[in-house]
Structure 1
Amino acid sequence: METNRSPRMTLPTQAVLRALLAEPTKPMYGSEMCAAANLPSGTIYPILARLEREYGWLESEWEDPDISVTDGRPRRRYYRLSNDGAQAARLALAESYQARQSRRRTFGGKPGSAGATS
């Protein structure tokens, strides 16, 4: 898996990466990630799958089934950034921020104003 290329840095992808980077060594499960990134599960899970399978930025593991049975809930899959993934995520977010700032300077300071006419 490659960590030297970056996913498309959509706003939801950036929100997921920021949530993961808040505590990069802490494993998080899906619902927890939804709350931290303020995104629905239908948005979160495809991003997590892509970051894990296509880019190798994430590691995941299922919790022990005995825990979920004892708690009376479905098993949770926990995700966390790999060491290389955390570094790549920080770099990708920084580059995305710099590109956004450059566009704002170029197009007059308003997001989404590229090509807009009054």
Structure 2
Amino acid sequence: MKQLHALTSPRPETADGRLMRNMPFWRHVPKAHWFLPQSHEEAVEDWYQKSLTGFSQEDLPELDRLRETYPRGEPYVFIHGDLAQPNILVGPDKHLSGIIDWEFAGFAPV
């Protein structure tokens, strides 16, 4: 993980430069085409607009405060995207021998 996260990009993207899917949403609604926002400003606005649903007018000052402190995602770090036990190969000597299933790999916020 440390070695992967040392690889960075100024924007979220797949290893081959395509738009990076927003995995938490995509896994639950596979036909949806939600991609990670391409800039910090776009990410903040996207979050803010989605947050307005279900909040009352009296919540707006708190939302505005959170909007101002929204964490930056850059630089984006390289991730596997599906690093789970079935994708980690261990040899008979009990040492890591490989990692498979890189289809969700790319650059995303830490």
TM band (smaller chain): under 0.3
TM-score (norm 2): 0.25
Structure with the largest fraction of helix: 1
Structure with the largest fraction of strand: 2
TM-score (norm 1): 0.25
